[in-house]
Amino acid sequence: MKLYEFEGKQLLNNAGIPVPQGFTADSVMAAVLGCETLGYPVVVKAQVLRGGRGKAGGICFAESESDLTLCAESLLKMKIKTEKVEMLYIEKKLSIRYEYYTGITLEPRSGLPLLILSPRGGIDIEAIAREYPEELFKKELTSLKPYRLHNMIDMVQKTGLKGRELLQTARIVLSLIHCYFLNEALTAEINPLVIDNNGKVIAADAKFEIDDASLFRNKTINQFKRADTQTDPLEIAANNADVSYVQLNHGDIGVISGGAGLGMATVDMILALGGLPANFLDLGGDSTRQKTAASLRIVLQTPGVKSVLVNIFGGTNNCETIALGISDVIDELCPSQRIVVKMRGHSQDEGWALLEERGIPVIKFGTTEDAVREVL
């Protein structure tokens, strides 16, 4: 579950991390009325669940009520990628002296949370890693280890901070770690972490993604439920179909797998052979004809998809059942995208026959590499 910035900042505030004073508004009038109390100047931010908001023009500044009216009107008419802006978050404008980056995300090789710090805040972490790798400082975390302030001071010192600002930042990093584990997050990011002209350290932005499997026990996160109109329609469809779906940027090869590990291996193989995956979709181990059909419809609707690779190792899934779901979509939609299926396991011969009747290339005994090469 991805959180909006204002929701993430509520988690930070609950953890004792300083955030700017602000409020949400879903109309121009609400924005104007709120600023009568908050005052000017302010920063007005479109609330969307996707990244790239700043580059898309989803943030603006207002020095007066007339500025605010124009800004709010413009943002509330926007779509950022496929997501319509329904909510604004309006904060007091900060006097920024320095911008830092701090965040925690899962490290795929170790499976452990990875704490990252950098003095290069305000830009994407991918850009920092690419352009300034020597200024990324990392530390693997485990919830079993009691982290203390001196551990964080040692790490924050690497960024060049000193004195009171060093101590403030170390306390914020320690609080972010506690916040990450308390809320069972997959990602918790503050970018930028700002030092203002008075030497105060403040979280100017917040990005959180929470583990869906923990939602039933997280009372705070459950208060953040939003209407379907405020989330991506493909993610809603995936949720309704009970499949794991993640849209990736700029890809043109759709991916459906029977298992998360096989799905990740497929995505890696596509990249290794020079292709670009458009998504990750895992059917899981209990795929029905209907679930398979719903999944293929979702992938075919994913922006940019020109071909689809279905990679199934039967296991607890029935290959004939999966082939029936694929066949239903082909018969119904006659998709223009090319579909390649690598599938074996229980009832594989029956499944292969169904797909071959429809002219679908089937990789029967080859590897994932063979299937990717067939797609490419």
Confidence of residue 207 (pLDDT cuts 50, 70, 90): very high
**Helix (H) / strand (E) containing 265:** helix 260-272
Residues near 359 by Cβ (< 8 Å), separated by ≥ 6? none
| Cβ proximity of 208 and 12 under 8 Å | no
pTM for the model = 0.69
| Cβ proximity of 106 and 112 under 8 Å | yes
Residue 1: inside a domain, yes or no? no
Residue 147 is predicted with a pLDDT of 85
The dihedrals phi and psi of 117, each to the nearest 5 degrees, come to: -130, 150
* Calpha distance 162→146 (Å, rounded): 24
Confidence of residue 142 (pLDDT cuts 50, 70, 90): confident
Range of 59's domain?
21-92
Q: Are residues 186 and 320 in the same domain?
A: no
Burial class for 193, CB neighbours closer than 10 Å (0-12, 13-18, 19+):
buried
Which of 222, 244, 279 is at the close of a domain? Answer: 222
The dihedrals phi and psi of 324, each to the nearest 5 degrees, come to: -60, -40
Which of 187, 222, 257 is at the close of a domain? Answer: 222
Comparing 2-11, 42-51, 211-220, 335-344, the range with the smallest average pLDDT is 211-220
Residue 32 has pLDDT above 90, yes or no: yes
Q: Are residues 88 and 106 in the same domain?
A: no
pLDDT tens sequence across 285-302:
888 999 999 999 999 999
Residue 229 has pLDDT above 90, yes or no: no
Residue 223 has pLDDT above 90, yes or no: no
Q: What is the DSSP letter of 234?
A: H
Q: What is the CATH number of the domain that holds 68?
A: 3.30.1490.20
Residue 231 has pLDDT above 70, yes or no: no
